[in-house]
Every structure is written in C-alpha cells, then in structure tokens.
Amino acid sequence: VTVDLVVLTLRDGAHSVLLVRRGEAPFRGRWALPGGFVRPDEDLGGAAARELEEETGLVEGVHLEQLGSYGAPRRDPRMRVVTVAYLAIGPSLPDPVAGGDASHAAWVPVREARRLAFDHSDILRDGVERARSKLEYTSLAAAFCDEPFTVSELREVYEAVWGVELDPRNFHRKVTGAVGFLQPTGEQRQEGRGRPAQLFRRGPADLLLPPMMRGNQPQPG
C-alpha cells in the first residue's frame, strides 16, 4: 500500500502541480506524482503528511485531504500495489527538493501535466476536479493564498483553477458578504497603481453560503 500526492498551488498565476521525474524503470524519465509506501506504524493521513513534508518541507498551513484509492491489478507492472491518493493545497510553496527515487522534482502547470507514469494522469484529473468542485461551496480557495491576502488574490485563485474570468465587483461583494468567510485585518496593501486593497484572513466558516457560481466555460487541462 502506497500514498500518492496531488499537491496543487499557484505559481506565477498558473494552477500548478508538484511532479517528480522518475529515475528508474518502469516509466523512467516520465513525470509522476510524489509518493511512497505506508510504514507499518503509520496512519494513511500520517504517511501523506510525511511524504508532503519530505517533498516540500512544509506541512503546517497546507490543506490535506484524502482523494481516493486506485487499485487496478496491473497499475504497477512490477507488483500489486494499491495506492491511496491525497490532495494537498497550499500557498505558493518553495521550490521542491528531490528525494527518494525521484531524480528531479518541479512545479508543472496543470494544463501541461500530460502522460504521467502509472495511472497518475487519472489521479491528477480526479484531484483537479475535486479542487474545482470544493472551490464552489467551501473556503478551500483561501488555502491557495498566503495570509493576509486581498480579495483580488482570492479571485485570481478561482480564475486560475477554474479557467474562467469573474466579475471583480460582484466577487468582492459576495465574499465580503458571506458571514464567517473572511476576517478583515484592518490593514491595507498597495499593489502598484490603483487604490490600496484591504487585507483579510480566513474566517471561521468552512462553507461558503451561498456557493460561488462556476460558469459553463470549457475547462482546459
């Protein structure tokens, strides 16, 4: 039994995933999701947190949830392996460090992450879809932002992950009006030209009510 990680973040405004380049057969030279075996004394979530820390150096403040299990009999040609996939979401994370059987690790824009090793393309697709869904009705978008953040930064998360454009004015009114969603810090931040933006932190609410509307735009990726 292994755990594999779909680690999502925003890098230079692009919805990106952490991938490792395989240094060994099978799938040598192909991109893969980071992961590893569950140790005998570990919980599944604990194994996922350990792998996340090994790859990124961070665990605190990173959202981590179970995504699903993948156990087709020959998904790994070497042996029968059932993997439990986890979805991790954090603010712009530091450049990754190579480790384990990975010859290299990098942030890759989701739309460019193609033809991964094993069934990792399926797992990535499911993870991205989970993230897109949860933006609608939870406060997950704030997990992509360093605190404190502006309303515009939060809107850019939705626009990058969903691949759509949202009306800045209606977006502002909606997120500031949802009770418990945002907590104003009272401070402001200047972003080049224009009026300074108010700064916020995550509020106590986990759910966004009413949910954010996702248009019918086609999804790249």
Partner DNA sequence: ACAAAAGTGTTCCTCATACACCCATGT
Partner DNA sequence: ACATGGGTGTATGAGGAACACTTTTGT
| Contacting positions for its own copies (CB under 8 A) | 1, 38, 40-44, 66, 68-73, 80, 82, 84, 209, 215
- Report the distance separating Cα 202 and Cα 112, nearest Å: 30
131 touches 124 (CB < 8 A) = no
The residue whose two tokens read 């005998």 is 40
**CA within 13 Å, CB half, 200:** 21
Nearest distance from C-beta of residue 215 to its own copies, angstroms: 8
Mask for 156-195, x = binds DNA (CB under 7 A): -----------xxxx-xxx-x-----------x-xxxxxx
Q: Which is nearer to its own copies, 136 or 159 (CB)?
A: 136
Q: Does 197 bind DNA (CB under 7 A)?
A: yes
Cβ 14 to DNA shortest distance, Å: 18
Q: Min. distance of Cβ 85 from its own copies in angstroms?
A: 9
Half-sphere exposure of 73 (CA within 13 A, CB side): 0
Question: Which of 140, 35, 219, 116 lies closest to 154 in space, CA to CA?
Answer: 140
Task: Work out what residue 164 binds among DNA, its own copies, none; the CB cut-off runs from 5 to 8 Å by kind.
Answer: none
CB 7 within 8 A of CB 120: no
Of 156, 177, 180, 160, the C-alpha closest to 168 is 156
Q: Scanning the structure block, which residue is given the tokens 């086609």?
A: 218
220 binds DNA (CB under 7 A): no
Q: How do strand 197-202 and strand 182-189 relate by DSSP bridges? A: antiparallel
Q: From its own copies, DNA, none, which one binds at residue 195 (CB under 5 to 8 Å depending on kind)? A: DNA
> What residue 190 binds from its own copies, DNA, none (CB within 5 to 8 A, per partner kind)?
DNA
Q: Kindly tell me which of 53 and 206 has the beta carbon lying closer to DNA.
A: 206
Residue ranges in contact with DNA by CB under 7 A: 150-152, 167-170, 172-174, 176, 188, 190-198, 210-211, 213, 215-216, 218
